[in-house]
A = this chain, B = another copy of it.
Amino acid sequence: MIDRSALAMELEETWHREIPLAAAMGVVVDGYDGHTLTVRAPLDANRNVHGTAFAGSLYSTCVLTGWGATWLAWRENDLTGQIVVADSTIQYRKAVAGDLVCRCTLNAEAVAAAVQEFRASGRAKLALSCAVDAGDRRAVTFMGTYVAQAAHH
């Protein structure tokens, strides 16, 4: 039985211990149900010159959420390896005037294919998307491609 709340806590602790910017942003894992990872960062530490969320903070929250969702999928499949983002696109449609809340839902078939590729070759790519809403409207859409690589591969 996978203890998802322990995994989510380990993810958050890893971010705060290993990534100074994640600590400065105050990112926390808001929830993880095995499908969707939700990450939150407070507005105050992440505001811009206009008093709304800084584009770099929105991006960083998204890139961490995507990385975290991939890391969690790897751990749930008993895999380890180095995970890095290779490229990404982000669109800003509305200003975010409250906490930055980012959600990432991995596609189960894409994860299964990537896990199979990783087990066979020690390397896999996974494309995913994240979203941040403002009120009930989409504010930010992020698409990223992550690469997982086995250690010493």
Q: Which of A75-134 contact B (CB under 8 A)?
A: 82, 84-92, 95
Please pick, from B47, B60, B87, the residue contacting A19 in the complex, using a CB distance under 8 A. Answer: B47
By the criterion CB–CB under 8 Å, are B91 and A56 in contact? Answer: no
The answer to whether the Cβ of A153 comes within 8 Å of any Cβ in the partner chain is: no
Stretch at the interface among A1-9, A20-28, A29-37: A20-28
Bound-state CA distance A92–B89 (Å) is 12
By the criterion CB–CB under 8 Å, are A20 and B49 in contact? Answer: no
By the criterion CB–CB under 8 Å, are B56 and A21 in contact? Answer: yes
Given contacts A24-B24, A59-B59, A85-B92, 14 further A-B contacts (CB under 8 A): A20-B46, A21-B24, A21-B25, A21-B56, A54-B60, A55-B84, A55-B88, A56-B56, A57-B60, A86-B91, A87-B90, A87-B91, A88-B89, A89-B90
Q: Would you give 22 A-B contacts (Cβ < 8 Å), ordered by A?
A: A19-B48, A19-B56, A20-B46, A20-B47, A21-B21, A21-B46, A21-B60, A22-B54, A22-B56, A24-B25, A54-B60, A55-B84, A55-B88, A56-B63, A57-B60, A59-B88, A86-B91, A86-B92, A87-B90, A88-B90, A89-B89, A89-B90
